[in-house]
Amino acid sequence: MLKDKIQALAQDIHGDVVKHRRHLHANPELSFEEYQTSAYIKSALDELGIEWTAMANTGIVGIIKGAVPSEAVVALRADMDALPIKEANDVPYRSKNEGVMHACGHDVHSSSLLGTAKILQSLRSDFAGTIKLIFQPAEEKLPGGASLMIKEGVLENPKPQAVIGQHVMPLIDAGKIGIRSGKYMASTDELYVTVTGKGGHGAQPQQNIDPVVITSHIIIALQQVVSRFADPKLPTVLSFGKIIANGATNVIPNEVYLEGTFRTLNEEWRAEAHQRMKKMAEGIAESMGASCEFKIVNGYPFLVNEEALTAQVRGFAENYLGKENVEDLDIWMAAEDFAYYSQAADACFYRLGIRNEARGITSSVHTPTFDIDETALATSTGLMAYIALKRLGN
């Protein structure tokens, strides 16, 4: 059986995948700076005899062609970049780059795809179709490596009928995955707001135009965009996480600076909300004698798992892992640039369990203590290979 063959191969190469993961974890690189990571992956693909091309500077696309002629094409995606976080783990593979850490599991994704590539390359004489291996830079930084890869033609020549991705999930035990059909992750936009008034002595507010009070009105009023304009059935989040008003106990500043995020799961509403927020903030400031610069930096779109493909992937996963090891996921208002693939092609993005409470491996992503149960690397490599071949019709 194909399942048994792949599971055996996944166990055989597990040590190699662990070595890949530990090397990448110890040598993390920030978004758009993944030069050594890219060189390492290219070398690993060369050793496997897999043809590759460079794309989006540090990105790589490998091609595995089955011996049996077929027009079917599946793309498998991994990201490569790390985060500006100082690692707190005391492990042999601790980051060697001070202040940079694979705290979101992209080392897991890339090493897993190398493992999957090794499995598929060893089986190429037995299957029909083509598999694209996408090693993508800069998931963590706008405009997102996925958008650049797509612009440079990663979804063309040949065009995949499906794009599959996986991402670590510390809330799910190793050996399991989580999956959701339809809308899954939110769009994300960055808000940069400056409210300018007239500063002065705090004891003489009548002589000033207080941007602190005006900004307070704006922050509260903007929540009505969520509570009174958004469809209650449509998840929408507006949060401000940074406020700077450089006055003092008795000094009203000239301006107040804000940074925030807006997230939702509908592109039409997203565009409408942008206009409402900008108009509301500028109007409030003007009505109170101040001015407001409301800058919106568009981030990633929302991520949608195509329903027919996701149902198929779920079935493959249940067959490979057992139905009890495939969990349902809820909507998650975090963002991921895999969403660009999901907007351009049929796509499925699932979660890989990496948790092991008995060993204390429970930390969330984007934290200094994030780590994984490396037994998950056998699951990640084998399952993706199985999904790819089953999707190709093998």
Q: Is 139 a catalytic residue?
A: yes
- Give the Cα-Cα-Cα angle 153, 154, 157 (nearest 5 degrees): 75
Domain holding 341: CATH number? Answer: 3.40.630.10
Q: Which one is catalytic: 139, 140, 189, 346?
A: 139
For tokens 């002065």, the residue is 200
Report pTM: 0.94
User: Do 147 and 68 belong to one domain?
Assistant: yes
- H or E element at residue 78: strand 68-79
Number of independent structural domains in the chain: 2
pLDDT digits (tens, 9 = 90+) for 315-330: 999 999 999 999 999 9
- Ranges in the chain, pLDDT < 50: none
pLDDT digits (tens, 9 = 90+) for 270-295: 999 999 999 999 999 999 999 999 99
Distance CA 193, CA 285 (A): 11
pLDDT of residue 202: 96
User: Do 213 and 232 belong to one domain?
Assistant: yes
pLDDT of residue 351: 98
- Give the range of the structural domain holding residue 260, as residue numbers without chain letter: 189-297
The residue among 64, 22, 43, 28 whose CA lies nearest residue 392 is 64
DSSP string covering 182-242:
EEEE---EEEEEEEE-B-EETT-GGGSB-HHHHHHHHHHHHHHIIIIIS-TTS-EEEEEEE
User: Do 216 and 321 belong to one domain?
Assistant: no
User: Do 58 and 176 belong to one domain?
Assistant: yes
User: Do 171 and 218 belong to one domain?
Assistant: no
Distance CA 238, CA 201 (A): 33
User: Do 173 and 43 belong to one domain?
Assistant: yes
pLDDT of residue 394: 76
Cβ-count burial of 333 within 10 angstroms (0-12 exposed, 13-18 middle, 19+ buried)? Answer: middle
SS3 state at 248: strand
Q: Which one is catalytic: 29, 79, 81, 140?
A: 81
Q: Which of 241, 272, 297 lies at the terminal end of a domain, its last residue?
A: 297
User: Do 139 and 169 belong to one domain?
Assistant: yes
User: Do 17 and 93 belong to one domain?
Assistant: yes
Q: Is 330 a catalytic residue?
A: no
